[in-house]
């Protein structure tokens, strides 16, 4: 009586129960669940007809579009492994991932062709299918579907321990690693999102978080499971996002904190509709950003925490009873915590170096470790990295956190981002949180710079809100009112934008290089 656990079974449920409801809404397009299901059958049939077999890797380089959404179900339906590619990489990184993954077919959105054009001749055996346009010498996606036989989904053909996707890490500190995520782990993460966000057939979801980042945090399947409508956002342009929210009555979205900051800026020009339920993750959201989103936009923020290696999420900030009645600042500060284990995530601990649990006092820091059904199978073709990440039977996140007396965890820093000045530990997130409380600050990041006496000293990189002004002395004085003296930045460098990965994570390795120079004028941001 066992049925394989796969998010594709959840999608099949939505296709069966909601045939007349809108599955995808886009400019000039309304696609029903019935029609969306037919396109999935055509895509699966086309891939099989072109010789794609179970276990073959199929790469996808595309922004958030209808065609992308189809690939997250249509490709793994035949047992093939989807390889979602970050749309903001350079030729060297695409060359490495295509070679390392051994992809035999590339589904390529025409908007991304320029990023990978110089690499494609090096892979003569790689078949390229072009989405949303035509390129001479390559088959178009529309023609692929038009000439395809239909292949209905057979849930019994999928094993839950099969790898569903090979997701490459953002590579902010080293070469990207291929994370092997199974049908089982993807299913469990998707169910966790259904339990935590509780979408229904009445919801309209705006796909803001890149689908290639941990499979859209599971929302490439979760919304389809319950018959919700999907609105793709091909580029994170805040005014276009607000336009789509208004036009389609969007009720839910997922976004990194930096995107929320962008939406706050755009909302000063054109008011945002209230009532949107937001899942925020990808980086620790400052309490000040959560407060502004809930106060100025009238949206509800729910904080999630995890990594690609955990199929997206381990914890969420489960709102206590009555939190809506708390004072705004207290509510935002609480929601900035990473929270408690998701119902099906398994075990999440905060431990010392000897693997004993830290004291749950909100003070003692340790590393977040986890084990359970959402943890990756391992890194593809990298046994040593897999061994290090999973040593002792626990996945080591590299994130430093405290556990509060109520059981909620709060990330204080990445191990590699901790600043050690004169023997004192300075969590960069704590300093950034203080900077965000200044009304002129839109973006802030703090890194270590070499110091001849103290070893390291904190340096802040700040982008100001549009039309606002603040001096270095003013921001340093502001931090002195909130932080112990040794945690106050010794320098503030003003930038137009902080360097980020496509998933919203700040590329602190670039900022550390900039901080080594007297004026912070290192590599171009």
341-380 pLDDT, tens per residue? 999 999 999 999 999 999 999 999 999 999 999 999 999 9
pLDDT, residue 503, reads 59
Task: Mention the CATH class of domain 418-515.
Answer: alpha beta
Q: Name the average pLDDT for the chain.
A: 93
**Mean per-residue pLDDT for 491-505?**
84
pLDDT, residue 314, reads 98
Collapse the DSSP code of 71 into the 3-class scheme (helix H, G, I; strand E, B; otherwise coil) and give the result: helix
Distance (Å, rounded) from C-alpha 181 to C-alpha 190? 13
pLDDT, residue 455, reads 82
pTM for this one?
0.86
CB count in 10 Å sphere of residue 149:
11
Q: 466-479: string of b/e by CB count within 10 Å (b at 16+)?
A: eeeebeeeebbebb
CB count in 10 Å sphere of residue 83:
27
**Mean per-residue pLDDT for 37-53?**
97
> What is the domain partition of the chain in residue ranges?
346-414, 418-515
pLDDT, residue 282, reads 80
Closest CA to 158 of 77, 53, 82: 77
Distance (Å, rounded) from C-alpha 313 to C-alpha 392? 21
Residues ≥6 apart with Cβ < 8 Å to 107 = 58, 59, 60, 61, 62, 67, 71, 75, 129, 131, 141
Distance (Å, rounded) from C-alpha 437 to C-alpha 287? 8
Identify the H or E element spanning 159.
Answer: none
Give the pLDDT confidence of 392-402 residue by residue, as tens digits.
Answer: 999 999 999 99
pLDDT, residue 523, reads 35
pLDDT, residue 38, reads 97
- Does the pLDDT of residue 411 top 80, yes or no? yes
- Does the pLDDT of residue 7 top 90, yes or no? yes
Residues ≥6 apart with Cβ < 8 Å to 443 = 258, 261, 462, 463, 497, 498
370 HSE (CA, 13 A, CB side):
29
* Edge-to-edge order in the sheet of strand 455-464: 441-451, 455-464, 491-494
Give the pLDDT confidence of 68-107 residue by residue, as tens digits.
Answer: 999 999 999 999 999 999 998 889 899 999 999 999 999 9
pLDDT, residue 333, reads 94
DSSP 221: H
- Does the pLDDT of residue 429 top 90, yes or no? no
Residues ≥6 apart with Cβ < 8 Å to 37 = 15, 19
At 421, is the pLDDT very low, low, confident or very high (cuts 50, 70, 90)? Answer: confident
Q: Please state which CATH number belongs to domain 346-414.
A: 2.30.38.10
């Amino acid at each position: 009586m066992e049925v394989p656990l796969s998010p594709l079974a959840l999608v099949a449920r939505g296709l069966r129960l909601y045939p007349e409801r809108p599955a995808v809404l886009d400019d000039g397009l309304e696609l029903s669940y019935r029609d969306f299901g037919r396109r999935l059958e055509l895509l699966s049939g086309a891939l099989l007809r072109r010789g794609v077999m179970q276990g073959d890797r199929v790469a996808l380089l595309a922004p958030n579009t209808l065609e992308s959404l189809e690939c997250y179900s249509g490709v793994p339906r035949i047992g093939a492994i989807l390889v979602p590619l970050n749309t903001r990489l350079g030729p060297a990184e695409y060359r490495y991932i295509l070679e390392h993954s051994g992809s035999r077919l590339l589904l390529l959105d025409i908007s991304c062709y320029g990023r990978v054009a110089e690499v494609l001749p090096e892979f003569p055996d790689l078949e390229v299918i072009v989405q949303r346009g035509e390129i001479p010498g390559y088959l178009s996606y529309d023609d692929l579907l038009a000439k395809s036989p239909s292949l209905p989904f057979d849930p019994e053909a999928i094993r839950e321990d099969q790898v569903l996707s090979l997701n490459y890490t953002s590579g902010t500190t080293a070469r990207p690693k291929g994370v092997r995520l199974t049908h089982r782990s993807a299913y469990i993460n998707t169910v966790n999102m259904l339990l935590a966000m509780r979408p229904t057939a009445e919801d309209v979801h705006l796909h803001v978080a890149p689908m290639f980042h941990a499979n859209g945090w599971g929302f490439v399947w979760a919304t389809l499971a319950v018959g919700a409508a999907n609105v793709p956002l091909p580029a994170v342009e805040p005014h276009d996002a607000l336009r789509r929210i208004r036009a389609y009555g969007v009720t839910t979205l997922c976004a990194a904190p930096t995107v929320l900051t962008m939406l706050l800026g755009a909302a000063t020009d054109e008011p945002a509709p209230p009532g949107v339920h937001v899942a925020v993750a990808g980086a620790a959201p400052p309490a000040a950003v959560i407060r502004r989103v809930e106060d100025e936009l009238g949206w509800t923020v729910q904080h999630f925490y995890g990594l690609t290696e955990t199929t997206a999420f381990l914890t969420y900030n489960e709102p206590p009873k009555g939190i809506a009645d708390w004072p705004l600042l207290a509510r935002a500060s609480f929601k900035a915590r990473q929270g408690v284990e998701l119902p099906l995530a398994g075990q999440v601990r905060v431990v010392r170096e000897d693997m004993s649990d830290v004291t749950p006092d909100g003070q003692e820091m340790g590393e977040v470790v986890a084990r359970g059904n959402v943890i990756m199978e391992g890194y593809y073709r990298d046994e040593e990295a897999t061994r290090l990440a999973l040593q002792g039977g626990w996945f080591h996140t590299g994130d430093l956190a405290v556990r509060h007396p109520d059981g909620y965890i709060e990330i204080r820093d990445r191990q590699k981002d901790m600043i050690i000045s004169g023997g004192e530990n300075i969590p960069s997130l704590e300093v950034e949180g203080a900077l965000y409380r200044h009304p002129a600050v839109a973006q802030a990041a703090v890194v270590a710079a070499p110091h001849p006496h103290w070893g390291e000293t904190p340096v802040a990189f700040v982008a100001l809100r549009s039309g606002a002004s603040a001096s270095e002395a003013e921001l340093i004085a502001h931090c002195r009112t909130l932080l112990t003296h040794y945690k106050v930045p010794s320098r503030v460098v003003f930038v137009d934008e902080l360097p980020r990965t496509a998933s919203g994570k700040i590329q602190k390795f670039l900022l550390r290089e900039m901080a080594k120079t007297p004026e912070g004028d290192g590599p171009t941001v």
